[in-house]
Structure 1
Amino acid sequence: MDLTTYVSRLRDELASAAELGGPDTRALAERLTAPLESAFRLAMLDALSAAADEITRDLAPGSVEVRLRAGDPTFVVTPPPVDQPDAAMAPSDATPVPSAPEGDDGAVSRINFRLSDQLKSRIEDAAGRDGMSVNAWLVRTTTAAVRDNAGQVTHRAPIGGQRYTGWAR
């Protein structure tokens, strides 16, 4: 997505508004808009990121990410997994992508957790290999981790003395 047209439009609107103050005001507005161009772009990127986050909340477990490439934002859309058995195969290991737990009413929650940079990199690599966003990969992996052999959600005891706190539905 090229932001140049939007920044130019904003610059033109500011120049038009400054025109009301006379030639000195217009000259000042033109001198101010050049250094403010990067601030305009940053504000637009913030708005696009906020919009992508809002869409992701509504689309979860699918996601929308905004990535900056060569100074321009691009969107990466990861649709939610399809519940059909043939279409829900993971590309790397041909195991089915777990669907949402039974009784799931479609409500979406956000969770924040801390992890090492090394683990974060490994998660990003695994998600990339599977052609998924990190969020979609984490949802799929977490869902698979809490299922027992019968396909029902289960709660497992911590391994090796690790302790988990928090809540789950």
Structure 2
Amino acid sequence: MDLTSYVERLREELAGAAELGGPDARALADRLTAPMESAFRLALLDALSAAADEITRDLAPGSVEVRLRGGSPGFVVTPPPAERAGFDAPPPPPQPAEQPEPDADGAVSRINFRLPDQLKTRIEEAAARDGLSVNAWLVRAATAAVHTVEPPRTSRAPFGGQRYTGWAR
């Protein structure tokens, strides 16, 4: 996707607004547009990323990602596994009975956490198997985990905290 036409449109709008201020304002606008081009492009990329995140939330377990190649953004759409033609995917895991409602304002939070390299690799493999981005896979896994009802865990096994399994002769 070429952003040049959008950046040019912003330049024209700025120049049109500067015309109202007279020749000095027009000269200032001309001097500011060249250094502001990278800021314009960054703002457009932020808007595209936000749109991709919103679409991913509605498309889950599919996803949409914005990727830069050669300075130009492109979209990578990963449909849900059942929608991929010619691909015999295993059935999707059961979904929690109750899906969380998104925030009324559509707010999204960002967290950073550390995990072992082996676990990261296994998460990436699982996400690829499911045809998801790592972020979409983690959101789905976290959603399922907080909606799963598990029996309470005891801190110790009976008879002194040790448990043996197996058979003996």
Q: TM-score, normalised by structure 2?
A: 0.64
State the identity %.
64
Distance in 2, Cα, partners of 1:23 & 1:83: 58
Match of 2:52 in 1: 52
User: After TM superposition, what 4+ stretches of structure 1 lie above 6 angstroms from structure 2?
Assistant: 108-111
Match of 1:5 in 2: 5
Distance in 2, Cα, partners of 1:20 & 1:154: 64
Distance in 2, Cα, partners of 1:139 & 1:156: 23
**Are 1:116 and 2:115 matched, yes or no?**
yes
How far residue 43 of structure 1 moved from its aligned partner, in angstroms, is 0.9
Kept in 2: contact 1:3–1:72 (CA 8 A)? yes
Match of 2:23 in 1: 23
Match of 2:165 in 1: none
What is the number of equivalent residue pairs in this alignment?
144
Aligned pairs for 1:1-169 within 5 A = 1-82=1-82, 89-90=88-89, 96-101=90-95, 104=97, 107=100, 114-116=113-115, 118=117, 119-120=119-120, 123-124=123-124, 127-128=127-128, 132-135=132-135, 137-138=137-138, 142=141, 155=150
Kept in 2: contact 1:88–1:97 (CA 8 A)? no
1:69–1:126 CA distance, 2 compared to 1 (3 A): farther
1:31–1:83 CA distance, 2 compared to 1 (3 A): closer
Which structure has the larger Rg over C-alpha atoms? 2
Q: TM-score, normalised by structure 1?
A: 0.64
Kept in 1: contact 2:79–2:131 (CA 8 A)? no
SS of the aligned residue for 1:77 comes to: strand
Kept in 1: contact 2:81–2:130 (CA 8 A)? no
| 1:78 maps to amino acid | T
**CA RMSD of superposed structures (Å):** 3.8
Kept in 2: contact 1:61–1:136 (CA 8 A)? yes
